Amino acid sequence: MVDTRKIETVADLLARSQRTLFITGAGISVASGLPTYRGSTGVYQGGVNQEGLPYELVLSGDMLRSRPEVTWRELMRMAEKRVTNAAVNPGHEAIAAVPNAVVLTQNVDGLHRKAGSENVIEIHGNLGKLLCTECTYEREADGWKHLTIPPRCPACAGVLRPGVVLFGEALPQEALDRLDAELNQGFDLVFSIGTSSLFPYIVEPVILAAEAGIPTVEINPEETEISHVVEYRLAGNAAEVLPALLR
C-alpha cells in the first residue's frame, strides 16, 4: 500500500506545479489490458518469440527490410489488441486533467491522446499509423485483422510498416527536437511512471531535474534504474496512484 503521507506530499507538489513532465512507459497501460514489455511479466520475458527467434531481431528494421513477413507475423501477434481494443484507464485520464502537462511516452498505443492529453511526445511512434517503405503514402490503421502479411501500399505496392520505431532504428528527429524544446523551458515537477528506465532519453530528464533540485517522483510497482535517484517513490499501480494524487 502506498504511503498516505507521500501521496499527500506529492499531491501538494502537483497542485503547485506550473509545468509538469510525465514520462510514461508500458506500465501505465497495464490497467487497459496491455502487458508491459520488459517487466517480470513482460512480452519480452525470455527474450525469444514462439519460434525461438530473439525479439530484437524479429522486430528490427533490418528484418523488416529483408524478410518483412517475419516482422509482420510478430507484429500481428502483438499489436491487434494494442491498435483496436485497448481503452484509456484512470491513469491516462488523471494525467490529461493536469494543466500545462507535457507527456513524454515510450508507448505506441495512442492512449494518452485518446484520454485528452494535448502535449504528447510519442518518442517511439504510434501503432495507429501505417507508412509505406517506398513512397510517401500513409494512413490511419483502422484495425489490422484484414491486413495481408506483409501489407502492401495501394499506391506503389511497397511494403507497409507501422509508424513506430523498430529495434536498430533511429528515434524520430521531430520528437527529439520537441523534447529538447520542452526541456529547455524547464519543469517544476517530473514524474517517471511505469517505465523500466533503460533508455538514456527516458532517464536523463529525471537525472537532470534531480541534480537541479526539481522534485522527482517515480510511480512503479517494481524498483528500476532510477529508483535511487528520485526524491519520492510511490510503489503502486499508476491507474490507482495517479487518481489518488488528484483527489
Specify whether 73 is located in the same domain as 92: no
Tens of pLDDT, residue by residue over 43-80, are 555 567 677 788 889 999 999 999 999 999 888 877 66
| Least confident span in 55-64, 76-85, 106-115, 237-246 | 76-85
Q: Which of 92, 112, 124, 228 is catalytic?
A: 124
Confidence of residue 40 (pLDDT cuts 50, 70, 90): very low
Specify whether 21 is located in the same domain as 135: no
Tens of pLDDT, residue by residue over 121-143, are 999 999 889 999 999 999 988 77
Specify whether 81 is located in the same domain as 92: no
In which domain, by residue range, is 47 found? 36-85+130-164
**Sequence-distant contacts of 219-227: CB under 8 A, at least 24 apart:** 219/191, 219/192, 219/193, 219/194, 220/27, 220/192, 220/193, 220/194, 220/195, 221/27, 222/39, 222/40, 222/196, 224/192, 224/195, 224/196, 224/197, 225/196, 225/197, 225/198, 226/192, 226/197
Q: Does the structure show a pLDDT above 90 at 147?
A: no
More confidently predicted of 125 and 2:
125
Alpha-carbon gap, residue 242 to 121, rounded angstroms: 20
Amino acid letter, 193:
I
Active site residue 228: no
| Least confident span in 60-64, 69-73, 82-86, 229-233 | 82-86
How confident is the model at residue 83, as a pLDDT? Answer: 57
Specify whether 75 is located in the same domain as 193: no
Q: What is the layout of strands, in order, in the sheet containing 189-193?
A: 120-122, 101-105, 20-24, 189-193, 216-219, 232-234
Specify whether 5 is located in the same domain as 110: yes
Q: Does the structure show a pLDDT above 80 at 37?
A: no
In the chain, how many domains are there? 2
Domain with 73 in it: what CATH number? 3.30.1600.10
Instruction: Give the whole-number percent of the chain exceeding pLDDT 90.
Output: 74
